[in-house]
């Protein structure tokens, strides 16, 4: 099973993929309206907002959690190179 390279979500059905295109490596939550993948900064902000909303944690804690999540995902490896 494929996983989204940008957020780690499992993609099982065509509608889980960006634009319903199963050749895409990223999911429908990680795509812009023009079909491109959301940028590092956009995705980071998306995920922080999601965590704050769903887990009720502070901005600071969300930022730390999102950093460690994104560090494990193939799409963002360049951003974490020392
Ligand atoms: Zn995704």
Expressed in angstroms and rounded, the spacing between residue 60 Cα and the centre of ligand 1 is: 22
pLDDT of residue 11: 98
In the chain, how many domains are there? 1
Structure tokens at 70: 């994104």
From first to last of its 82 residues, what are the pLDDT tens digits of the chain? 899 999 999 999 999 999 999 999 999 999 999 999 999 999 999 999 999 999 999 999 999 999 999 999 999 999 998 7
Residue 10 alpha carbon to ligand 1 centre in Å: 8
CB 76 within 8 Å of CB 40: yes
Q: What is the Å distance from ligand 1's center to 45 Cα? A: 13
Other CB atoms within 10 Å distance of the CB of residue 51: 19
Backbone angles phi, psi at 3, to 5 degrees: -120, 145
Domain that holds residue 70: 2-80
Cα 9 to ligand 1 centre (Å): 6
């Amino acid at each position: 099973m494929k996983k989204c390279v940008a957020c780690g979500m499992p993609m099982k059905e065509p509608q889980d993929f960006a634009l319903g295109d199963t050749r895409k490596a990223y999911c429908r939550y990680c795509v812009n309206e023009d079909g491109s993948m959301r940028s590092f900064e956009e995705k980071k902000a998306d995920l922080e907002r999601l965590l704050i909303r769903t887990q009720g944690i502070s901005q600071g804690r969300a930022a730390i959690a999102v950093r460690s999540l994104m560090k494990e995902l193939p799409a963002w490896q360049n951003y974490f190179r020392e």
